[in-house]
Structure 1
Amino acid sequence: MHNRITNWTASDDAMVENAIRRGATRRELLSMMLAGGVAMSAGGMILGRASDALAATPKSGGNLKAAGWSSSTADTLDPAKASLSTDYVRCCALYNRLTFLDQAGLVQMELAEKVESADAKTWTVKLRSGVTFHDGKSLTSADVVFSLKRHLDPAVGSKVNAIAKQITDVKAVDPTTVEITLANPNADLPTILSMHHFMIVQDGTTDFSKGIGTGAFKLETFEPGVKSIFAKNPNYFKSGGAHVDSFEFFAISDDNARVNALLSGDIHLAASIKPRSMRLVESQPGFVLSKTTSGNYTDLNIRLDMTPGDKADFVKGMKYITNREQIQKSVLRGLADVANDQPVSPASIYHNAELKPKAFDPDKAKFHFEKAGVLGQKIPVITSDAATSAVEMATIVQQSAAEIGMNLDVQRVPNDGYWSNYWLKAPIHFGNINPRPTPDILFSLLYASNAPWNESQYKSEKFDSMLVEARGLLDEAKRKEIYGQMQIMIAEEAGTIIPVYISNVDAITEKLKGLQANPLGGMMGYAFAEYVWIDA
């Protein structure tokens, strides 16, 4: 028995604690530990230790206030349409998913009690009992069927329509059982269901302004682009529910103003602060930094279907004139990993480490710019503080280009309206992509020919067919090989320049406890409000 728990670590303890917070039953917790090689008697000991740790630390009460960095008048409470971090934070407070990812990146159950399949094509979802919506209605399979089918309806405009299209049928077997049939096998389905867009909403909902879900908070106020206020849900299905009595979330786009709001005591958390603000926070007693490196990145997008991106040599020139090391060191103060122009970060087991980043090479860049016939032309580049560090990145690229006679006209536009007016639309512009749990999700959202967020309008039939092939493979080695090839294709053929994978840094008061890293992004994968507490 002793040998079976020697590999159990403090992070494993934290995983158990997180599962308890998520509402896992004792049987589910013991099953999880047994799967990790822990004997039943030792599992009971670990469970007791985790329960004691949780019981000793969280405190109830208080009014949580937090500020994000980006918002818009297009902010929404419809999970299917969510696109900004502020949308994700609100959705995590109001709704639940069938599954979720813990801090170790492992799939755990939330509204689902079980998600099972014998062939990765037909899946059975067994729902938890005793879950109610904010208006008192009980959760049933009809709600799950409705929620999933919404993503297939073009009129809804779901951000994950391309991913959801693999679902060919969703039906209720009985009030607590749902059967999901896919067009082709996909072993990632339980992970896909953990995405923020796949929150479960009430059957028949057309008006999302009330935010009626099963989540830890009820909506009190929602002013798009301004603020959101939530009150603790007293009937939450998870034991104990949220620790705080209320939660207020809004955006302060200016980094200095966001940090000053934290230091003055107006908020408990300032999300995604810039590296230059870190020293200020660290120099002040009573404040700490929460760092997460999970695949977030800001990219420079060149549309391949518009001038000048329709010239392959212009795109190549831009990749060689991007000084990745300088961006890492100067812009992000080392809080980033140099990237290789594709979205699968080193945090993923599928990351292709053999694919080396393009070297900074002004001579090669000049050669390609001359070949494209653009050297000396004024080329507009749209940037904004709406995308993390995009203004600073644009400046570095602009300066490097100027030294070889390339005139990049950097145009800084306001945060408000950037995502609806410029992102995906301007010939050359910046984007900011939050972490996603699988290569399939990243590729389906961003690089498939029909991807809803195809930032450079990259289209390849070969890439599309490889995406489908890898999705259904149970052979992990083969799957990793295909994903590695696809990363090479993106780096060489797409018009997206991903210079670094950014470490997200949230600044918090020491009074805020319980914040943990999560592979779905900063602010505990945007779900922090349910789990943190205020140690007044």
Structure 2
Amino acid sequence: MSPRTRLASIGWTPWRLGPVDRSDHSSTPRPADGFGRRQFLRGIAATGVVAGAGGLLAACGGSSSSTTTQLSQASRAPRRGGNLKLGLTGGSSSDTVDPHKSLTYLDTSRLQSLYQPLVQLNTQAQIEYVLAESITAHQGSLSEWIIRLRPGVTFHDGKDFTADDVIFTFRRVFSNDFTGKFGLGPIDLKNTKALDKLTVLVKMTKPFASFAEQLAAFWYNLYIAPAGFNPAKPVGTGAFMYQSFTPGQRSVFVRNPHYWKSGLPYVDTLTLIDFSDNTTLQDALSTSVIHGAGALDGPQIASLATTSGIKTVVSHSGEIIPFTMRVDQPPFNDVNVRQALRLLVDRPQMIDSALDSYGVVANDLFSPYDPNFDHSLVRPAQGDIQQAKFLLKKAGQEGLTVTLTTSAVATGTVAMATVLAAQAKAAGITININNVPPGVFFGPNYLKWPFAQDYYNYYPYLSQVAESMLNGSPFNETHTNNPHYTSLYNQANATASPSLQKEIQYEMQQFDFTQGGYIIPAFIDTLDAYSDKITGYSAAKVGQPLSNFDFEHFAFVA
């Protein structure tokens, strides 16, 4: 079974939340919405609905493919009109058009078309202002922020977009305990208020210098809804307006004639189609039933690359599938054991064997596109078995036997676990694989497994730390609770100095590299394919398929 097959049986395709080419991090060393997906799986696990299947995350690869595609589009002039049909797997009867309930790629593809966030991560994994024009510290205080909103924006029903809609959205995600609340950090909702129609004063309970970054990281959980939003009448500010929606089957949206971005979108109609599996998805693209297919498998991309009328796109993303070691339980409470396991990994072999070669070497650090990423922290790519043995002997753990819990919850998880177990034998370690169904993995023992795996799309560094590295983080799989590390995180949020930010984050990454509980062998690619009759797409580095769902720029070729 390919490591990129999906959990079509439950209609669930996970993803998470950047600009470096393969050459930039092949020799050096990718939440945002993990909470919603895990919460969803844990809920349905109790009902017994979850069935085992292949990996969930998407991947795309190949620098030459993506470069060729981008260059070939330069002379492909767009024309207006037409019905653009795009396909993904993972739909189900629980599909949604609620702006704050996204659970799958398909959900986000719909929401990104209908709604817009204040800020987001663009295809280059950079912060891009959308409905906000600026987010600045108020009078120099990192505990108060001014959000200035874009004027002249209207919702699909003709209502003006104002500060009241932003405050309504913030309150809605908190009152319903939606995932988007994690992007708002230590917000003081009671004292957050509108200063005028286009200005919001956001109060925090403590300094939060990474506010804009974390809003962007959680953009697909923080789409702005109009005050008094009625989920039965999905109204947003996006490039497309709602026409029809059949959960688990298809969505049909039409061009927003009053869209605030001049000249966009190009197409008149956008149809998003749910497919039961990647084979039927590939067949639909090959037979021109659809014009684009996202989140494909490695072998499919190899096949489609030689198919007439099809162009493939490989995106080098910051997506990660870390092996997670609980630092509060033996044997992983000994840093020598953790470092030994990190040193035994042959990373290129892992990528070739488990990921169909669609990935680049990582060095146990996350957030490769963050401007403060420390590229100097590098492990031996093929591993260092002798040093691993030395550390195991130092820890008194020669001949160590451990159990690794895995599940088909992300692209390549089971395959990566199998490869790690094989590689560990060279260091005298026996890794017994405990392959459980996804519903069990995300059941009561989720975040309790001593040695397991997880997955994340690209996050900027401090956002990923908030997601999984602090005591109280929603996904602290490793149970990291280091007071100095937490203090550094708070210090980073308490300064606006770029140089001091970099200094602090470099120190934090030293901790990640020398003491952390993650083994991160690779940054995983994302794979898409398109008909040569359309243009406007590009490679995207966050980990989302189909050009970050930037459908307003998709067009038929003139």
TM-score, normalised by the number of residues in structure 1: 0.77
Provide the residue aligned with 2:376 in structure 1: 354
**Which one-letter code corresponds to 2:405 in the other structure?**
V
Q: 1:439-450 residue pairs with structure 2 within 5 A?
A: 439-450=461-472
> Structure 2 residue aligned with 1:89, among 109, 113, 131?
109
Contact 2:183 2:215 in 1 (8 A): no
* Contact 1:93–1:217 (8 Å) recurs in 2: yes
Query: Structure 1 residue 202 and structure 2 residue 222: aligned?
Result: no
Contact 2:343 2:379 (8 Å CA) reproduced: no
Q: 1:79 to 1:418 in 2, by over 3 A?
A: farther
Cα distance, 1:208–1:512 mapped onto 2, change above 3 Å = same
Match of 2:405 in 1: 381
Note the alpha carbon deviations across 1:419-453, whole angstroms, 9 max, x for none: 678864654433221112x2121211221222223
Secondary structure class of the residue paired with 1:434: coil
Contact kept, 8 Å, 2:353 with 2:419, in 1: the verdict is: no
Q: Which aligned pairs between 1:288-367 and structure 2 lie closer than 5 A?
A: 288-304=311-327, 315-345=338-368, 347-357=369-379, 360-362=383-385
- 1:245–1:302 CA distance, 2 compared to 1 (3 A): farther
Q: SS where residue 193 of structure 1 aligns?
A: helix
CA distance in 2, matches of 1:321, 1:209: 53
On the 8 A contact 1:314/1:374 being kept in 2, the answer is: no
Partner of 2:85: 65
In 2, the alpha carbon distance for the partners of 1:76 and 1:159 equals 15
Determine the structure 1 residue equivalent to 2:490: 468
Identity of matched residues, %? 27
Q: Which amino acid aligns with 2:152?
A: G
Look up the match of 1:431.
454
State the match for 1:282 in structure 2.
Answer: 305
8 Å CA contact 1:296, 1:434 repeated in 2: yes
Partners of 1:148 and 1:170 within 8 A in 2: no
1:366 deviates by: 6.1
1:139, CA displacement in angstroms?
Answer: 1.7
Matched-pair contact (CA < 8 Å) for 2:294–2:546: no
Q: Is the 8 A contact 1:82 1:159 kept in 2?
A: no
Which amino acid is 2:363 matched to?
N
Unaligned runs of 5+ in 2: 1-72
Q: Is the 8 A contact 2:311 2:532 kept in 1?
A: yes
Q: Secondary structure, in 3 states, of the residue corresponding to 2:317?
A: strand
Greater Cα offset, 276-285 or 183-192: 183-192
CA contact (8 A) 1:119 1:185 kept: no
Cα pair distance change 1:302/1:76, threshold 3 Å: farther
SS in 2 for 1:292: strand
TM-score by length of 2: 0.74
Unaligned runs of 5+ in 1: 1-52
* Aligned residue type for 1:178: V
AA partner of residue 119 (structure 1): G
The answer to whether the aligner puts 1:413 opposite 2:413 as a matched pair is no
Matches within 5 A, 1:103-142: 103-117=123-137, 118-119=139-140, 121=142, 122-142=144-164
Shift of 1:145: 0.9
Residues 417, 434 of structure 1: CA spacing in aligned structure 2 closer, same or farther, 3 A cutoff?
farther
**What displacement does 1:83 show?**
5.0
Return closer, same or farther for 1:174/1:106 CA change in 2, 3 Å cut-off: same
- Aligned equivalents of 1:99, 1:173: Cα separation in 2: 20
CA, structure 1 residues 444+77, in 2 after alignment: closer, same or farther (shift >3 Å)? farther
Distance 1:311 1:69, change over 3 A: farther
* Cα-to-partner distance string for 1:80-119 (whole Å, 9 max, x where unaligned): 4435433332221121122344455554432234444442
The residue matched to 1:329 in structure 2 has which SS?
helix
Q: 1:427 to 1:211 in 2, by over 3 A?
A: farther
Displacement after TM superposition at 1:350 (Å): 1.3
Deviations 1:45-82 (A, max 9, x none): xxxxxxxx999933223332323355566654444443
Contact 2:364 2:519 in 1 (8 A): yes
The answer for the alignment partner of 1:512 in structure 2 is 534
Tell whether the 8 Å contact from 2:470 to 2:486 is kept in structure 1 after alignment: yes
Instruction: Tell me what 1:10 maps to.
Output: none
Counterpart in the other structure of 1:15: none
Pairwise CA distance, 1:532: 0.6
CA distance in 1, matches of 2:118, 2:448: 34
For 2:505 and 2:455, the matched residues in 1 are separated by: 22
1:382–1:426 CA contact under 8 A, matched in 2? no
SS at match of 1:66: strand
Counterpart in the other structure of 2:236: 213
CA distance, structure 2, for counterparts of residue 226 and residue 321 of structure 1 = 45
State the secondary structure of the residue aligned to 1:236: coil
Change (3 A) 1:355 1:287: same
CA shift in 2, pair 1:464/1:91, >3 Å: farther
Paired residue for 1:231? 254
Give the conservation status (yes or no) of the 8 Å contact 1:294–1:519. Answer: yes
- Asked if the contact 2:406–2:414 (Cα under 8 Å) also holds between the matched residues in 1, the reply is no
The one-letter code of the counterpart of 2:526 is: N
Is the CA contact (8 Å cut-off) linking 2:185 and 2:211 kept in structure 1?
no
The answer to whether the aligner puts 1:393 opposite 2:416 as a matched pair is yes
Residue identity opposite 2:179 in structure 1: K
Counterpart for residue 501 of structure 2: 479
CA gap of 1:300–1:372, structure 2 versus 1, over 3 A, is farther
CA RMSD between the two structures: 3.5
The count of residues paired between Structure 1 and Structure 2 equals 477
CA-CA distance at 1:324 after TM superposition? 1.3
- More deviation in 249-258 or 187-196? 249-258
